[in-house]
Structure 1
Amino acid sequence: MMKKQMTFKPTVLFILLSSAFSAQALHAETALSEPDADIQLKTVEVKGNKTAAKLGTEKIRRQKLDEYLIQDIHDMVRYDPGISVTEGGRAGSNGFAVRGVDKDRVAVSVDGLAQAESRSSEAFQELFGAYGNFNTNRNAAELENISEVAILKGADSLTAGSGALGGAVLYKTKSPKDYLQDGKNYYIGLKGGYSSKSSQWMSSTTLAGRAGNADGLFVFTRRHGHETRNHGGGADTVLDYTDENSFSYKGVARATPDPQNTASKSTLVKLGYHFTPSNYLSGVYEDYRQDRKTDELSNLFSYISQDKRLRNDVSYRKRTGLQYENHLENGPWDSLKLNADKQQIDMTTMTWDIPLKENIQGRNTEVFFRRRGLYQNLNQFQISAEKHADWHNISWDTSYGAGLSKGKYRNSNLEYFALLFYPDILGSKKDTNEFLVSTENKKQHIYWDNTIRFGDKVKLGLGARYDKVNMNTLESDSLTPNVKRQLVWQNIWDKQASFKAPSYSASLDWNIVPSLTLQSKYSTAFRSPTTDEMWFFFPHRDFYVQPNPDLKDERSKNIELGIDWHGKWGNLKLSGFRTRYKNFIDFVYIGGIQHETLNSNGDIVKESWISPTYQNRNRNNAVVKGLELQGRWDLNSIGLPDGTYTNIAASYIKGSADNDIPLNALQPFNAVWGIGYKHPGNRWGIGTNLSYFARKKAEDTSRAYDKPNEPWPFVKHSRNVFLVDLIGHYQFGKNVSLRSGIFNLFNKKYYTWDTLRSIREFGTVNRVHNQTHGGIERFSAPGRNFNITLEAKF
């Protein structure tokens, strides 16, 4: 009877709290019992002193994600000066910027699965991204599914493979063992929160349980909110100015963000079974969808055509997989993992052009609809193993493995007119012609990484990896007829390309004295060109993009030196780095060219006009140098109460490409200083962080690769700014905690550099008035805002 009562009470609390948080109704029967037999675990000896963390590596664990009220990737890197988020306009963000590179040059993975490419060929961005008809961003991960994030700075293809030129962001999802420890057979976690900067409500439920040799995890999260507010809102800016073509710029000069409704839903399920204490088989299912519905009032064309333009940008990811784990007392490995995964990522944009009320012309009024999608499917198999060995005063940790994957990249287009009042009646034929060549790739890799410790004085790291990437175009009957004809003629139809890349890493840590460590690291990375960079073709007289199937893969080499001072009081690390990029790919204007073309009769003819022509080409090199400072001081070491601390982080970076061309992705100097107190029993805590962002100097920017001496026009809005944030929490008993934070406490108005460099001069979206910069207020960062979460754990 006692056992039934103990099982019933948490269930009642779970139902009550689920209702309070407005989580989705959940009906489940969970059988939880003690393990059938005692499991003899291997004894693990933990040895004591603090050691220096790896150069260029930071891990953000679940506890920190919760403590800092992290709801998205902007929050995740808020206090890390060495990394920022690349803005992607209406549809969200476009990955990360690290050490002078961004987008696809910073690898992103979830449990070892590479996330979608941004299709970031600058040619594609200029033509289609500039009009907002494609969702060209990288997909995001639901952070409530994540147990740990590793941020790697500097070249590191040994860890992350293709794309880790400047670094990598590696997500690891939760598992049942994160919650079922110390003999606990069940876990119930409920969380709800609100973020004022986007009026976002969040609810999340985490359930974990063990029954006999089986265990499982279920995480369900929902979010719904609105557009991210700019500083102070404000009224629209209406300009009387028009250019010589009499185009009104009222739309791009809009001062407030476009109205937007956002919603996301995420499900993570993991189920596993221990056949023996040393053999474990588990399966995973993950499903995530995010919708951003926007009334695009700032769109240039919506004010030229006097139509109302509505958008829905959808990011969808689904993953299924199996993992087998084996542990050996003696053998070629201590642990072995086999992973087989299938991943689907869809990035879609739907557009509706609807006449304004005063322009409706009766029952025959037409609405224009367009849907364009980018689809990336991945099948992947990986094997990895780890082994530890000791010989007298020497210890050796080694990991090795291999992997292979097959990816397919497709796109779609659908557009037509329909009657406004009778949407089933079409006003035109459905156009399904595609703009991009579909492609597939096959990737293989093998690696071996080692860490050798010589007593407590010296730690040596040596690793190598070899990657092979094969890509080819796929035939399609859906391409625009003219584009298809030219592709066949230029021998780009069913084209193949292959890239082979060795990657290396070597590091040496020398403990001069127990509290002082000198560190050094050398590492390399590569990025194979995207399929768009090689084969994107757009034969238009006003903007001609020529493919370049002869592109080389990009390479980077990183050298880093550091000194780490550590002890019971905390730690302080100063490091300097130099990263050299080779074969940098950029979108280059190659001149006005009179092109030959293949007409519909199959004859080669010379066009009668000269087209401004662009092409993706390799630069020779780029160099980035910088200094980073990180430290934490536990102030009880000088007599203050236990739990009092202060921390600091700062980053200074400079660099340029060939002929001293500035790199816009470089962040100006920024630093964070924090001080706070956390009760030793974690009953409550409070902290403040002071952040400083230096302005971006005009001479450190460039307008374009072919206009290196012209600064980025919107850099003049960059200013020095100090921001103050307050964060605190209170624990109610042992089960419920309340966390809250106030950000930009003094309501400073400022523009982040990543936002300013995302503004376009060309196209119809993400723009301001080019001459007057009317509408720049729309891109200001949020003013004073707050975040609050309430969490219960049983």
Structure 2
Amino acid sequence: MQQQHLFRLNILCLSLMTALPVYAENVQAGQAQEKQLDTIQVKAKKQKTRRDNEVTGLGKLVKTADTLSKEQVLDIRDLTRYDPGIAVVEQGRGASSGYSIRGMDKNRVSLTVDGLAQIQSYTAQAALGGTRTAGSSGAINEIEYENVKAVEISKGSNSVEQGSGALAGSVAFQTKTADDVIGEGRQWGIQSKTAYSGKNRGLTQSIALAGRIGGAEALLIHTGRRAGEIRAHEAAGRGVQSFNRLVPVEDTNQYANFIVEEECESRNYETCKANPKKDVVGKDERQTVSTRDYTGPNRFLADPLSYESRSWLFRPGFRFENKRHYIGGILERTQQTFDTRDMTVPAFLTKAVFDENKNRRVLCPATANTRATTNTADCLPTAKTVRWWARNTVRACFTTRRTPKAATVWNMSIPMPIKTLGRIMPASLTTGRASVWTIIFSRRTVLPMVQTNIAARVPTSRFPITNPTA
């Protein structure tokens, strides 16, 4: 039994030994078929995503140039159109007060361009001697979005990354470089963009030129914009609105039959006759005009606006041979011009405005060429000057705002709060004698909207007044 067991083991060993050479032959044949492949290198540009530099844990929005193009971003309002939790604060008169993140705005939202903080808001002065304020803050300097290649919006406190002033969040812009215009394997490139917006009849034209010679490169972008106010539905302009206009009428004072000493030269009061005095009082007259012509606090159409913008961006640079060092600079000049009229200020005389002015005891300026008044409350006579009002002129104030030629300088923004007899409206300056100058250095230059007020003289003969007395 033991020999038979050994014989079976020998047969098993022999069968295994005969299979080993066959296995070795197959391994050698597989090794002969292997080939040495070449090394493949893959290169790609790094693009920011939501997770890059994420420190708040509350979410971050990163919009590249492709995203801005797909969303048709033309101004500050289009940038946040599809994003919840962030909005644009409308300042009025075509301007804005910047971004609002989760209900907080102004200086609580950090605004940077290429890492440099931007001017955000300035405080407008109130009217001198008046009770109504001119607003708490004005507009901000807006960046030209055709010069931007990426926008990074952080929601929530972000002072760790953006520094002081990012209590509500931050908005960081990055300007374009020559690589964004020059194609792969080329030495120069040209990009042109033309856009039209029907909501405000806005036309945008932008052209970018870029070139590279050796390590030197440069980028030049010019952008021009023209637009108007945001239009309401055409049916809104077909209606009418009514108002009570104050008109002067004569009122004979029955108790004024007395002799005035200055009117009796002979000082003989027996020969001098009494001269009944006539007074001028206000009477409400109901008038109806179209919604486009109506001026007053109940106006629901947008104020007429003409907007124009010009922007230049020049970005030269030099890249060294090792491509690890780069030196360059950015020179940008942006000028925005607003021409508008505040139609919420009534261009007619009302009893409410007259009574308010009567209580305030604000006298009209002596000359008709003054440009210091802002609305009817500042140019109406008081009760003491009612007869002067009837005898000389009735001033109907028409408020306009017009920006003169921009005296801007490179990399400097010069808001000019100017003290005059009138009001300094938000996002506007009142022309007149300058007494205060505030110079704020910035990377961009935006000329604020300048307010010009015109006081028109209306002859007394147009009103039913006879024999106006002194």
Query: Smaller-chain TM-score range?
Result: 0.5 to 0.7
Aligned ranges 1:431-580 → 2 under 5 Å = none
Contact 2:126–2:133 at 8 Å: present in 1 too? no
- Aligned CA RMSD, in angstroms, stands at 4.4
1:314 deviates by 8.6
Counterpart secondary structure, 1:101? coil
1:116 deviates by 1.0
Distance 1:128 1:58 in 2: 43
Q: Which residue of 2 aligns with 1:149?
A: 151
Change (3 A) 1:71 1:273: same
**AA matched with 1:221:** T
Unaligned runs of 5+ in 2: 1-40, 247-281, 286-293, 347-373, 380-395, 422-429, 458-470
Q: Which residue of 2 aligns with 1:107?
A: 110
1:102 deviates by 0.7
Change (3 A) 1:144 1:224: same
1:119 deviates by 2.3
**AA matched with 2:119:** A
**AA matched with 1:346:** I
Distance 1:140 1:316 in 2: 16
Contact 1:297–1:308 at 8 Å: present in 2 too? no
Change (3 A) 1:418 1:212: farther
Q: Which residue of 1 aligns with 2:87?
A: 84
**Residue 441 (structure 2) pairs with residue 378 (structure 1):** yes
Superimposed CA distance per residue, residues 453-508 of structure 1 (whole angstroms, 9 cap, x where no aligned partner): xxxxxxxxxxxxxxxxxxxxxxxxxxxxxxxxxxxxxxxxxxxxxxxxxxxxxxxx
Aligned ranges 1:135-534 → 2 under 5 Å = 136-180=138-182, 182-232=184-234, 233-235=236-238, 238-240=241-243, 250-277=295-322, 278-300=324-346, 302=375, 305=379, 306-312=396-402, 343-347=411-415, 369-370=431-432, 375-378=438-441
Distance 2:298 2:171 in 1: 36
1:374 deviates by 7.2
Contact 2:225–2:310 at 8 Å: present in 1 too? yes
Superimposed CA distance per residue, residues 188-238 of structure 1 (whole angstroms, 9 cap, x where no aligned partner): 011111111111111000111111221110110000111122344425753
**Residue 62 (structure 2) pairs with residue 59 (structure 1):** yes
1:176 deviates by 0.9
Change (3 A) 1:270 1:74: same
Superimposed CA distance per residue, residues 143-196 of structure 1 (whole angstroms, 9 cap, x where no aligned partner): 000000000100011222221110011111101122335322111011111111
Contact 2:375–2:397 at 8 Å: present in 1 too? yes
Unaligned runs of 5+ in 1: 1-41, 321-342, 354-367, 381-410, 421-794
1:142 deviates by 0.5
1:309 deviates by 1.3
TM-score (norm 2): 0.55
**Bigger Rg, which one:** 2
Contact 1:251–1:303 at 8 Å: present in 2 too? no
Contact 1:311–1:351 at 8 Å: present in 2 too? no
Contact 1:60–1:150 at 8 Å: present in 2 too? yes
1:282 deviates by 1.0
**AA matched with 1:146:** V
Contact 2:418–2:433 at 8 Å: present in 1 too? yes
Among the aligned pairs, what percent are the same residue? 29
TM-score (norm 1): 0.34
Change (3 A) 1:288 1:259: same
Change (3 A) 1:94 1:210: same
Change (3 A) 1:122 1:116: same
Select the structure that is richer in strand: 1
Distance 1:231 1:273 in 2: 53
**Residue 100 (structure 2) pairs with residue 97 (structure 1):** yes
Superimposed CA distance per residue, residues 296-355 of structure 1 (whole angstroms, 9 cap, x where no aligned partner): 2222464555222111369989897xxxxxxxxxxxxxxxxxxxxxx42234689999xx
Distance 1:129 1:106 in 2: 28
Contact 1:264–1:290 at 8 Å: present in 2 too? yes
1:259 deviates by 1.3
Distance 1:317 1:166 in 2: 35
Distance 1:414 1:254 in 2: 20
Aligned ranges 1:39-54 → 2 under 5 Å = 54=54
Select the structure that is richer in helix: 2
Counterpart secondary structure, 1:118? coil
